[in-house]
A and B are shown apart, each in its own frame.
Chain A
Amino acid sequence: MTNPATEYAAGQGIGDARLDGRMVVDPDSGTDLLEVAMGPHHPSTHGVFRMDVALDGERITRLKPVFGYLHRNHEKLGEGHTYLASMPYTDRLDYICSLTNNWAYALAVEKLAGQEVPERAEYLRVIVGELTRVQNHALSVGFLIQDMGASGTPLMYAFREREKILDLFEALTGSRMMCNYMRFGGCRVDATSEWLDAVRKVVTGLPQFADEFEQLLCTNEILMARTQGVGVLRPELAVSAGVTGPALRAAGVNYDIRKVDRYSIYDRFKFKVPLGEHGDVYDRFMIRLLELRESIKILEQALKEIPDGPVMDPKAKIRNFRPKVGEAYGRIEAPKGELGFYLISDGGPNPYRYRVRPPSFVNLTILEDMCLGHNVADVVLILGSVDIVLGEVDR
């Protein structure tokens, strides 16, 4: 068995280390190309992620994403743990949105075991899920602006709003980021009425934040010049490449799993699915802001309608949970796109196969197509507009 550390020490390098910054002659044009490794420790890559880029002057002629630096074989870990013990590990996939990860996993297991979820638990799931979407979109938009060079200010405004939402998460689940809140057949703890009041207070403040953020940036000439017409994604390619989430809807494809699958209780809420026209970075930026506003609408409705009742199915088991033989694929509209869990049970306490379908990973498929012909500085923006989290890409 090879050990990466000894291999590295022996000078063999980790990964397909074909890049040494050498000049390569492009066979078509006869010009010199320069190969550059962007990453893995580049501040714009949002983690440890590398892009092998071939440059013709400033222009990108080839781009190959390289990842796996955070790979810990999450799926193998899942096969070695009980169904319940995998729940805290799902928090660590997309660590910005732990609650939607919990939700997708709980949904898949409930599908596998045929469990019901009480109504109040569904409402709580929608509330925490939409709060997660709000804070994810605020953050991803903030980081996009940060990548563009607007250091600090817009990102800090986004962080300020996120802070309020994370405080709510802590008050409900006990943790700000690694919430581990949902269980098969409901939620772990009930929300108090004080907590719901606190959510109402935060939600009333959110439209003002959205207004201010739009005022701050949306008509900014520099932002428009940098983002409009950059990284255009055609809808046909987006569909074929399995792109989901805001990036897909920015390309003009009306596909939101909350509307399509109507999972949980999303058929009870009135909300729109914002669609883009051009599929460029600016559209993806705007779609996130518009979706944030739609999430506020869902939150307002859910907070008005939330009923009293239990938050756990009384038949649900915490220990000795063994679903019958079979398989199920459960998916939700996570803030970054379709998050799916595919589980195969052999009747034992551990899943036989535990597969995560991460949105960030699949959305990276078309990174090269979007970047070709653009400048190096635009690659940073295009990657930022895809909105990835490496914990989920590498698993």
Chain B
Amino acid sequence: MLGEGILKGLAETAKNFAGSYVSKDRLTTVQYPEERIAPIEATRDFPFLVYDGEDWQAGLRCVACQICEKECPPKCIYIEKSKDKKPDYVGKPQIYPARFDIDISVCMSCQICVEVCPFEAIKMDTVFELATEDRFGGLLLDRSKLAKSNEYYHTIHPTEAAEVDARLAEEKAKVEAKARAAAEAAAAKAAAAPAAGAPAKTEPPAVKPAGGAE
């Protein structure tokens, strides 16, 4: 019968129309901005800088190594190194970024800066309502706007942040253990020095690094 196919199609449309009142699968529309979908953990849009502790200037993990600046495909990162050094999370004096700008009108959210960063200092944010009236200044984020606390990182990417924290703690423990071993060795050497004159004195047994157990 001519028109049978059209009628079949119309029956399908009717089914979907009625179904959209009862089935969530048939109505996926979300009325943004009144309604919002639940945040997805892996979402990424623009990078931010992680800091530890209370003060963002003291706690920035970034050491201005400029790897991200070099690897960034659209070249949207701009870094100026500091002249002086300040202690990083393990207490080692490090250079810090005197200037760190990201031009998010150029950034293409590819996440390569995060992948190449050896210091877990730059991560991807999930904020997306960044519209501004200022074409250049409003989309150029400097250090103060980029710095966000580790707690914030934990709220947006909990799984990933926990992994990063565990990795950093492990590294810190390793560094501390090494420092302690070095200190102990130095102390042992110092203790051994006055006794050096005594005959048949053997070297003190080397102190083994104790790992993270102590």
| In the complex, A329 has a CB within 8 A of chain B | no
Asked if A188 and B40 make an inter-chain contact with CB atoms under 8 angstroms apart, the answer reads no
Q: Which of A41-83 contact B (CB under 8 A)?
A: 81-82
Chain B residues within 8 Å of A172, by CB: 42
Q: Would B12 and A216 count as touching, CB distance under 8 A?
A: yes
A7 at the interface (CB under 8 A from B): no
- Docked pose: A81 CA to B16 CA in angstroms: 48
The answer for the CA separation of A185 and B98 in the assembled complex, in Å, is 37
Interface residues on A, range: 35 or more
Which chain B residue has the least Cβ–Cβ distance from A150?
B9
B195 within 8 A of A: no
Chain B 20-58, CB-CB to A under 8 Å as 1, else 0, gives 000001101000000000001111100000000000000
Chain B residues with CB below 8 A from A205, complex form: 25
Verify A212–B6 contact, CB threshold 8 A. Answer: no
User: B112–A84 contact, CB under 8 A?
Assistant: yes
Contact with B along A143-181 (1 / 0, CB 8 A): 000000000010001001001100100111111001010
Residue contact B110 to A178, C-beta cutoff 8 Å = yes
Q: Return B125 CB to nearest CB of chain A, in Å.
A: 11
CA distance A208 to B41 in the complex (A): 29
B5 touches A221 (CB 8 A): yes
Residue of A nearest to B8 (CB): A215
B98-140 Cβ-contact flags toward A at 8 Å (1 or 0):
0000000000111110011000000010000000000000000
Most buried by B among A167, A175, A217: A175
Residues of the B chain whose Cβ atoms lie less than 8 Å from the Cβ of A81 = 73
Which of A167, A175, A221 lies in contact with B44, CB distance below 8 A? A175
3 tightest A-B CB contacts, nearest first: A219-B5, A88-B110, A174-B44
27 A–B pairs (Cβ distance < 8 Å), ordered by A: A84-B71, A85-B112, A88-B110, A160-B28, A163-B28, A171-B40, A174-B42, A174-B44, A174-B124, A175-B43, A178-B108, A212-B15, A212-B16, A215-B9, A218-B5, A219-B5, A221-B2, A221-B4, A221-B5, A221-B6, A222-B6, A223-B5, A224-B5, A318-B115, A318-B116, A319-B67, A319-B71
Which A residues are within 8 Å of any B CB, using their own CB? 81-82, 84-89, 153, 157, 160, 163-164, 167, 170-175, 178, 180, 188-189, 205, 212, 215-224, 318-319
B residues sitting closer than 8 Å to A (CB atoms) are 2-6, 8-9, 11-13, 15-16, 25-26, 28, 40-44, 67, 71-73, 108-112, 115-116, 124
